[in-house]
């Protein structure tokens, strides 16, 4: 139960984060139409995304351990982490597998950035063995699953560190699984607050 409350709290926290910085003029599916003053990030196929997603934590952990970095690397890493937060840290159901999910495009964005971070480490002065091992694991998974050629409507979309992708609230409202997850998280948090308030309520003297 405690784990579910923490997960629900994370979802609500991320929603508040998105709402606090949500420009009214930004459309959810405008990834390649915004500012291009940042660092360009190549597109990612739907199959690549499905394979890279389980490796996201290893990629970022390895990247954060690099001490000798340059501006390009830091901006790519920063974009990957911020973009994943806007994508509710991958907590929304089917955000990677369902191209109709309002969180699918932003999943493409942070996973494309993670791939770019990994490829950047291959040309940097870092310990090569962990990087090569991770690249080899991902390549093997791609070949084994024959997923690299599977496309979806966002597969050809490139991204840019200057253009964060924010899921559109209207799309969330009409996507059953996303809406159900958010409402469930809200109910669990409210139930937790009610139980906490009841536990802290002063007991009346007989």
Structure tokens at 54: 């389980």
Between residues 142 and 54, the one the model is more confident about = 54
3-state secondary structure of 110: helix
Neighbours of 101 (CB within 10 A): 22
pLDDT at residue 201 tops 80: no
Neighbours of 158 (CB within 10 A): 15
Place of tokens 């291959």: 122
Average pLDDT, the chain: 78
Which residues are bridge partners to 40 per DSSP?
Answer: 160
At 160 the pLDDT is 86
Q: How many helices (H) and strands (E) does the chain have?
A: 8, 2
> pLDDT by residue (tens digit) across 34-45?
445 789 998 888
> pLDDT by residue (tens digit) across 136-175?
898 888 878 776 555 566 666 778 887 888 887 877 777 8
User: How far is the first Cα of the chain from the last one, in angstroms, to the nearest whole number?
Assistant: 34
Percent of all residues in the chain with a pLDDT value above 90, rounded to a whole number = 25
- Cα 100–148–98 angle (5° rounding)? 15
């Amino acid at each position: 139960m405690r784990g579910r409350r923490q997960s629900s709290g994370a979802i609500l926290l991320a929603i508040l984060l998105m709402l606090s910085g949500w420009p009214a003029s930004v459309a959810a599916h405008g990834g390649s139409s915004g500012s291009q003053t940042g660092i360009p990030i190549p597109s990612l196929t739907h199959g690549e995304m499905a394979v890279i997603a389980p490796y996201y934590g290893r990629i970022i952990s390895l990247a954060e351990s690099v001490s000798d970095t340059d501006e390009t690397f830091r901006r790519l890493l920063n974009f990957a982490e911020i973009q994943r937060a806007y994508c509710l840290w991958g907590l929304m159901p089917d955000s990677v597998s369902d191209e109709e999910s309002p969180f699918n495009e932003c999943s493409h964005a942070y996973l494309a950035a993670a791939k770019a971070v990994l490829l950047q480490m291959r040309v940097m002065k870092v310990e090569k063995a962990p990087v090569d091992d991770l690249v080899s694991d991902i390549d093997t998974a791609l070949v084994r699953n024959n997923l690299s050629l599977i496309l979806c409507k966002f597969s050809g979309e490139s991204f840019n560190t200057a253009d964060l992708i924010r899921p559109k609230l209207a799309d969330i409202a009409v996507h059953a699984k996303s809406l159900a997850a958010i409402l469930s998280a809200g109910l669990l948090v409210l139930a937790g607050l009610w139980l906490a308030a009841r536990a802290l309520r002063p007991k009346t003297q007989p």
